[in-house]
């Protein structure tokens, strides 16, 4: 994994001395360089290609907006907005997503319809979790269709874009798109007896069901948000359902629910949507999931979230090993109108590139590791009269083989150093053990990372001097960290 | 010009009503969309191609840094740094440039040499001037060579990169690279009698010589910064010099100056530099200019600034028509060491893409305007029995021709509307006057902008209804705004 456990700080960074400047990026941010940028740019290129195939126009907005533009758009998450200091002049905030800036752009311009895309960093003062790919500065890739069109036609195209993006990234087999509809959800809450002013807070609580068990969510509803326990239980009955178009039929048999006009209208739209998804041949990629709520206040219709299927060996409740949704979005017909000029209906999706990056990077590393034949290459070098240290190379190899560490060395008595490096690098072997005559005499050797490229420190160039008995532990540590 | 006089707000944006949200981007920022993004991306692609040809590796750093990282790096300009609000946790500031983040990266990593480039937005709470392409959020494209190398070899390559970037943009004939050397400049200040603690403030004052006459700069030195008038006059004698390698010989004859070891060392380096510039065949692009000082504190050696030559019809002192430097940089050998770990010498350049964009966009518009045959196309349309309104079209054409406005209309008695549109758009004509029977009877007509693409308002689609007598003024206004 390239995202560093110390939040972007290279591994050798030491905690700063008292009074010294902390040499690191701010919490939850990271530097991007080298192979990471190449992989990231590949992801951007694939996503942009799909966006362009669907007629998208790029838009680039400022990194900060007037603070009042962001006010009342994000519900409970507003506390995560980064504010700029009041240094005189306008009050500004870093953008929290790319959707509200789009709405601001639409409200101020004369544009009535467009397909716009934007790939840019957004900012959230959230608790960073590097392992889950959750940072405070992260990329979003957004595509939104703006304008009045016939029901569910743009919505289904957005879902098609989602499938095509993950097809382009070779991830289509690993994803499911969860669908729900705000009208159905809000209608069911009303049917269950949730008071009008509690609809949004209860919706927020339901949104946590992908991370927390029902008992915990129920507790939040009842104890924190003051909902009747019976009402909560009724919600619990509804949100356990998920599946395909057959769920529409199931709900249609629920006369109590169908008496609510929102539920009825939402189901009609879902039914139409499933017709279009069939035409696009992507029905197998979606799951109609009544527990999907989406935290944001501004959604008004269809909502969706792309999740990765857990690998079979992952524990479902191992929070750190899970990566949340990797794309999400929905229909928001009233957001532009919040700026007071006119209503323009919109539907869109946002891809979380940092999480996608984390998945693809891990996969790359695993493939690379599986493809190579060995993890350690033992080399020897010396000056005039150098005897090749063959016995020493054999002894070290035996030591590593015993531990199950895949190890190779040259089958020549007196191999030349450049040839040994070439053999190791041709086979993409990540570690070299380098034996020199003087060091061998002292029971020492050097352990060097290969393939670091330019700009190495002296220690990285020459390898780290170790006592022979520390080698196994160091190699295992490296392999564990780079598994 | 696409950069809007109202700082990014589309032209039709009205001032907000009391209590309403201001629908605009923050002061000094703008949205990028459509043809502007395409031109900008072309500029990025050209610059990146040059950077890659010289072995550059991309680096992407967070948009904000820990505030203490930026402290004491920018001299008088530190007041322009955007601070994030203290919301608990670390204090952060938006990056002011890409150089200090690079230095932070180098100080925390084990990298001892690299050629890195970064293309990203930076933030300065400066007084925005749209006409001069000076914004509060703007792009920089930086290339820096990091590491110990022989004197002036990386420095001359950076100047070569500057020339190649402007060659790739078709601007090589319009630029001059001003050069100076901090050792020479500081040495001459000492020779002139500037006290040690006033060297940097006096250097800052000299830096304003490209914008202000000597009398004003002298006034700042004497009245604001308390320099002896005689010392200021001596500086005045030095900074008036500029030219090619012959200036080195001129200074070598100044025994008083040459007695200063900084001046002597600086001249030796400049002489070596001119040898290398000759080898790269770019001597004609540079001017050794003793009045160049560069505001930033961190430069230690060669400094440079790329300026555009004024077009022959521009007034030299018309502040608004001038665009400042379009690229700048220098050698900064002590910046990485300010972070306390170790010294790593660096030399780099930063290209101001927004200013380059403004120049190229204006040029594009002018070329487009010069290439097209007419500015107005007069069209007629009507229902059954429509007579073609030929006499009316002729009368309107005559009205515009009299004013010298290039005008065309169809040579058919009863032209079809789509054919008229096609004729206008094929010839890239920006304005259509549309005559309808009912409107003509009332002495009215419609003026429509062509080529707006998708997403137009109803008024933009149909054209704006005008009284016939207002047409000339409206057309002239459009042509003046889009000249």
Q: Looking at the structure, do residues B341 and B471 belong to the same domain, yes or no?
A: no
Whether residues B439 and B360 fall in one domain: no
Q: Mean pLDDT over all residues of chain A?
A: 86
pLDDT digits (tens, 9 = 90+) for A142-176: 999 999 889 999 999 999 999 999 999 999 998 99
- Helix-, strand-, coil-residue percentages of chain A, each rounded to 5: 45, 20, 35
B387 in the same domain as B357: no
Place B5 in a pLDDT band, splitting at 50, 70 and 90.
Answer: very low
For chain B, say whether A63 makes contact (Cβ under 8 Å): yes
- What's the pLDDT at A345? 94
Chain A residues lying within 8 Å of B85, measured CB to CB: 82-86
Query: How much is the pLDDT for A44?
Result: 96
Of A26, A58, A84, the CB nearest to B62: A26
Residue A122: count of CB within 10 angstroms of its CB: 22
Higher-scoring residue by pLDDT: B304, A338: B304
Nearest partner of A353 among A40, A106, A52, A73, judged by Cα: A40
Q: Residue B242 pLDDT > 70, yes or no?
A: yes
Confidence (pLDDT) at A34 = 84
Best B8, B63, B449 member to test A by mutation, with max A CBs in 10 Å, is B63
- With contacts defined as CB-CB under 8 Å, which chain B residues touch A12? 109-110
Q: Compare CB distances from B84 to A59, A85, A89 and report the shortest one's residue.
A: A85
Q: With cut-offs at 50, 70 and 90, classify the pLDDT of residue B184.
A: very high
Strand partners, A304: A179, A329
Q: Are residues A173 and A258 in the same domain?
A: yes
- Please return the burial class of B452, using the count of CB atoms within 10 Å of its CB with bins 0-12, 13-18 and 19+: middle
The verdict on whether residue A298 carries a ligand-binding annotation is yes
Which A-chain residues 330-359 have CB contacts (< 8 A) with chain B?
A: 339-341
3-class DSSP state of A111: coil
pLDDT digits (tens, 9 = 90+) for B12-35: 344 445 567 788 999 999 999 988
pLDDT at B4 over 80: no
Nearest CA in chain A to B111: A455
Domain hosting residue A469, numbered range: 373-481
pLDDT for the residue A273: 94
What is the CB-side half-sphere exposure of residue A393 using CA atoms within 13 A?
A: 25
Backbone angles phi, psi at A218, to 5 degrees: -60, -40
Rounded-to-integer distance, Cα A420 and Cα A392, Å: 15
Chain-chain contact of A68 with B112 (C-beta, under 8 angstroms) = no
* Residue A96 scores a pLDDT above 90: yes
Where b means 16+ CB within 10 Å and e means fewer, B367-404 reads: eeeeeeebbbbbbbbbeeeeebbbebbeebbebbeeee
pLDDT reading at A280 higher than 60: yes
- Flag whether residue A45 sits within 8 Å of chain B, measured between CB atoms: no
Quote the percentage of chain A above a pLDDT of 90: 52
- Whole-number Å distance between alpha carbons of B121 and B48: 15
pLDDT digits (tens, 9 = 90+) for B127-178: 877 666 678 999 999 999 999 889 999 999 999 999 999 999 999 998 999 9
Determine how β-strand B114-123 pairs with β-strand B137-146: antiparallel
Residue B420, pLDDT > 70, answer yes
Lowest mean pLDDT among A118-122, B226-230, B319-323, B394-398: B319-323
* Residues B286 and B378 occupy one common structural domain: no
Lowest-pLDDT range of A84-88, A202-206, B333-337, B400-404: B400-404
Relative to beta strand A346-352, strand A137-146 is: antiparallel
Partner A, chain B 87-106, Cβ-Cβ below 8 Å: 87, 89-90, 92, 94, 104-105
Q: What are the residues whose beta carbons fall under 8 Å from the beta carbon of B174, sequence distance 6 or more?
A: B166, B308, B309, B359
Q: Is residue B176 part of a domain?
A: yes
What does the pLDDT average to over B349-358? 92
pLDDT at position B455 = 67
Chain centroid offset of residue A303 CA: 19
In angstroms, rounded to a whole number, what is the distance separating the alpha carbons of residues A224 and A294?
19
pLDDT at B366 over 90: no
Mean pLDDT, residues A190-208 taken together: 89
Q: Considering only CB atoms, which chain B residues are within 8 Å of A105?
A: 31, 33
Same domain? For B173 and B135 the reply is yes
In a domain, B111, yes or no: yes
Measure the CA–CA gap between A131 and A116, rounded to whole angstroms. 31
- Distance from the Cα of A121 to chain B's closest Cα (Å) equals 9
Per the domain annotation, does B379 fall within a domain? yes
Contact of B129 with B86, CB cutoff 8 Å: no
Question: Quick one: tokens of B264?
Answer: 């002597």
* B57 vs A33, A57, A341: nearest CB: A33
For chain B, give the mean pLDDT. 86
User: B340 to chain A, minimum CA–CA distance in Å?
Assistant: 8
Domain identity same for B442 and B463 = yes
Rounded percentage of chain B residues whose pLDDT exceeds 90: 52
Across the interface, whether the CB atoms of A65 and B25 are under 8 A apart is answered: yes
Residue B463 lies in a domain: yes
Please say if the pLDDT value at position B3 is more than 70.
Answer: no
Rounded to 10 degrees, what is the CA torsion of B255, B258, B261, B265?
-160
**pLDDT given for residue A29 in this prediction:** 93
Name the strand (E) or helix (H) holding A165: helix A153-168
B179 or B240, which is more confident: B179
SS3 state of residue A126: coil
CA distance B158 to B143: 8
Counted domains in chain B: 2
Residue A458: strand, helix, or coil: helix
Percent of chain B exceeding pLDDT 70 equals 91
Q: Which residue in B has a C-alpha nearest to residue A452's C-alpha?
A: B111
Q: A7 φ, ψ to 5°? A: 55, 60
Assess if residue B5 is contained within a domain. no
> Among residues B308, B340, B366, which one ends one of the domains?
B366
Q: Which two tokens stand for residue A334?
A: 């009233």
d(CA B233, CA B215): 10
Residue in B55, B66, B103 to test binding to A, most A beta-carbons within 10 Å: B66
Residues B358 and B379 in one domain: no
Indicate the SS3 state at residue B327: strand
Q: Answer whether A455 sits within 8 Å of B33, measured CB to CB.
A: no
Mutation pick from B109, B122, B337, B339 vs chain A, by most beta carbons of A within 10 Å, is B109
pLDDT of residue B70: 92
Residues B147 and B268 in one domain: yes
Does B348 have pLDDT greater than 80?
yes
> Which ipTM value was assigned to this complex?
0.70
- Strand locations in A127-174 (E): 137-146
Report the half-sphere exposure of B20 (CA within 13 A, side-chain side).
15
- Are residues A99 and A185 located together in one domain of the fold? yes
Interface of A with B in 115-174 (CB under 8 A): 116, 121, 123, 125, 137, 146
Q: Is A98 annotated as a binding residue?
A: yes
> Which residue has 């330019």 as its token pair?
A454
Of A26, A69, A82, the CB nearest to B65: A26
Rg of chain A on CA atoms, in Å? 28
CATH of the domain at B265: 3.30.930.10
Has A71 been labeled as part of a binding site?
Answer: no
In chain A, which among 428-457 make CB contacts under 8 A with chain B?
Answer: 454-457
Instruction: Select from A106, A147, A454 the residue whose CB has the most chain B CBs within 10 Å, as the one to mutate to test that interface.
Output: A454
Q: Which pLDDT tens digit goes with each residue over A421-441?
A: 988 888 788 999 999 988 898
> Is the pLDDT confidence value at A341 over 80?
no
- pLDDT for A31 beyond 70: yes
Instruction: Report how far residue A409's alpha carbon sits from residue A378's, in angstroms, rounded to the nearest whole number.
Output: 5
Q: How does residue A2 score in pLDDT terms, banded at 50, 70 and 90?
A: very low
Residues B294, B324, single domain; the answer is: yes
| Mean predicted confidence (pLDDT) in B66-73 | 90
Higher-confidence residue of B356 and A294: namely B356
Inter-chain residue contact A87 with B82, CB threshold 8 Å: yes
CATH number of domain containing A463: 3.40.50.800
More confident residue, B448 or B311: B448
Lowest mean pLDDT among A234-243, A311-320, A384-393, B346-355: A311-320
pLDDT of residue B116: 94
Among the candidates B328, B344, B366, a domain finishes at B366
Considering only residues A384 and B337, tell me which one the structure prediction assigns the higher pLDDT. B337
Q: How far is CA B99 from CA B54, B104, B335, in A?
A: 19, 9, 9
Which pLDDT score, from 0 to 100, does residue A164 have?
Answer: 92
Whether B7 is in a domain gets the answer no
Q: Which of A241-245, A331-335, B248-252, B303-307 has the lowest mean pLDDT?
A: A241-245
Q: Look at the alpha carbons of A59, A64, A65, A68 in this order and tell me if their dihedral is positive or negative.
A: positive
In terms of pLDDT, which residue wins out, B313 or A51? A51
Residue B108 C-alpha, separation from nearest chain A C-alpha, in angstroms: 6
Question: Does residue B84 belong to the interface with chain A, where contact is any CB pair within 8 Å?
Answer: yes
Q: Look at A34 and B26 and tell me if their CB atoms are within 8 Å.
A: no
pLDDT over threshold 60, residue B248: yes
Return the higher-pLDDT residue of A8 and B336: B336
- Collect all residues with Cβ–Cβ distance below 8 Å to A95 and sequence separation of at least 6: A61, A62, A63, A64, A65, A70, A101, A120, A122, A123
Query: What is the number of CB-based contacts under 8 A between chain A and chain B?
Result: 186
Residue B285 belongs to some domain of the structure: yes
Instruction: Please check if B97 is assigned to a binding site.
Output: yes
CA distance B336 to B145: 13
Average pLDDT over residues A359-366: 87
Kindly report the length of chain B: 483
pLDDT value for A297: 74
Residue A364: both structure tokens together: 């790359």
Q: Is the pLDDT of residue A83 over 90?
A: yes
Q: What is the pLDDT of residue A374?
A: 84
Q: What does the pLDDT average to over A342-356?
A: 92
Contacts of A79 (CB under 8 A, 6+ apart): A125
Mean pLDDT on A64-83: 89
Verify whether the Cβ–Cβ distance B104 to A27 is below 8 Å: no
Instruction: Look at residue B436 and tell me if it is in a domain.
Output: yes
| Structural contact between residues B344 and B337, judged by C-beta atoms closer than 8 angstroms | yes
| pLDDT band, residue B483 (cuts 50/70/90) | low
For residue B319, pLDDT beyond 70:
no
Residue B404 has a pLDDT of 77
Summarize the confidence of residues B75-96 as an average pLDDT.
91
pLDDT of residue A41: 94
Q: Mutating which of B56, B81, B126, B454 best tests the A interface, going by the most A Cβ atoms within 10 A?
A: B454
CB-CB contact of A454 with B113 (8 Å): yes
- Judgement on whether residues A359 and A378 belong to the same structural domain of the protein: no
Alpha-carbon Rg for chain B, nearest whole angstrom, is 28
A343 known member of a binding site:
no
Per the annotation, does A97 bind a ligand?
yes
- Cα–Cα distance list, B280 to A257, B12, B55, B156, B283 (Å): 79, 50, 17, 8, 8
Residue in A23, A85, A121 closest to B339 by CB: A23
State yes or no: pLDDT of B323 exceeds 80.
no
Q: What pLDDT does B460 receive?
A: 82
- Domain stops at, among A317, A348, A366: A366
Whether B86 has its CB under 8 Å from any CB of chain A: the answer is yes
| Interface residue A231 vs chain B (CB under 8 A) | no
- 8 Å CB contact of B23 and A104: yes
CA-to-CA dists, residue A478 to A1, A4, A432, A445, A449, angstroms: 12, 14, 12, 16, 9
**Tens of pLDDT, residues A397-416:** 888 887 878 888 888 888 89
Q: Which whole number is the average pLDDT over B67-90?
A: 89
> What are the tokens at B287?
């001017």
The interface residues of chain B toward chain A in range 374-413, judged by CB-CB distance below 8 A, are: none
Q: Any binding-site annotation on A297?
A: no
A36-64 pLDDT tens trace: 999 999 999 999 999 988 888 999 999 99
Tell whether residue B86 is among the known ligand binding residues.
no
Choose among B10, B32, B69: nearest Cβ to A21. B69
CB contact under 8 A, A31 and B60: yes
């Amino acid at each position: 994994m390239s995202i560093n456990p110390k939040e972007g700080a290279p591994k050798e960074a030491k905690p700063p001395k008292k009074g010294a400047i902390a040499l690191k990026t701010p919490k939850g941010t990271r530097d991007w360089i080298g192979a990471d940028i190449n992989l990231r740019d590949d992801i951007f290129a694939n996503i942009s290609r799909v966006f362009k195939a669907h007629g998208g126009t790029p838009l680039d907005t400022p990194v900060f907006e007037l603070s009042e533009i962001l006010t009342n758009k994000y519900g409970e998450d507003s506390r995560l907005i980064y504010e700029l200091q009041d240094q005189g002049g306008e009050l500004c905030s870093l953008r929290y997503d790319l959707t509200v800036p789009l709405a601001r752009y639409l409200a101020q311009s004369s544009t009535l319809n467009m397909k716009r895309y934007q790939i840019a960093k957004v900012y959230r003062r959230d608790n960073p979790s590097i392992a889950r790919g959750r940072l405070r500065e992260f990329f979003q890739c957004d595509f939104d269709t703006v304008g009045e069109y016939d029901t569910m036609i743009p919505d289904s195209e957005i879902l098609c874009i989602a499938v095509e993006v993950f097809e382009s990234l070779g991830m289509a087999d690993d994803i499911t798109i969860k669908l729900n509809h705000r009208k159905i959800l809000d209608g069911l809450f009303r049917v269950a007896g949730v008071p009008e002013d509690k609809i949004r807070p209860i919706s927020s609580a339901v949104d946590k069901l992908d991370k927390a068990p029902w008992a915990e969510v129920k507790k939040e509803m009842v104890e924190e948000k003051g909902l009747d326990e019976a009402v909560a239980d009724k919600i619990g009955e509804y949100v356990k359902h998920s599946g395909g178009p057959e769920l529409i039929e199931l709900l249609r048999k629920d006369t109590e629910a169908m008496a609510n006009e929102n539920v009825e209208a939402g189901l009609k739209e879902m039914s139409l949507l499933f017709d279009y998804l069939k035409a696009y041949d992507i029905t197998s990629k979606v799951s109609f999931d009544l527990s999907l709520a989406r935290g944001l206040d501004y959604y008004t219709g269809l909502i969706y979230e792309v999740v990765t299927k857990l690998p079979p060996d992952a524990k479902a409740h191992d929070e750190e090993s899970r990566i949340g949704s990797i794309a999400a979005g929905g229909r928001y017909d009233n957001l532009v109108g919040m700026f007071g000029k006119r209503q323009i209906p919109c539907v869109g999706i946002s891809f979380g590139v940092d999480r996608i990056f984390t998945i693809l990077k891990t996969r790359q590393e695993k493939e690379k590791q599986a493809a190579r034949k060995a993890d350690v290459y033992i080399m020897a070098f010396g000056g005039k009269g150098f005897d090749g240290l063959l016995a020493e190379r054999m002894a070290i190899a035996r030591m590593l083989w015993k531990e199950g560490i895949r190890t190779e060395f040259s089958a020549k008595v007196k191999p030349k150093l450049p040839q040994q490096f070439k053999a190791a690098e041709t086979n993409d072997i990540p570690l070299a053990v380098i034996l020199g005559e003087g060091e061998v005499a002292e029971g020492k050797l050097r352990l060097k990372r290969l393939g670091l490229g330019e700009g190495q420190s002296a220690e990285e160039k020459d390898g780290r001097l170790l006592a022979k008995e520390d080698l196994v532990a160091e190699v295992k540590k490296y392999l564990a960290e780079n598994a």
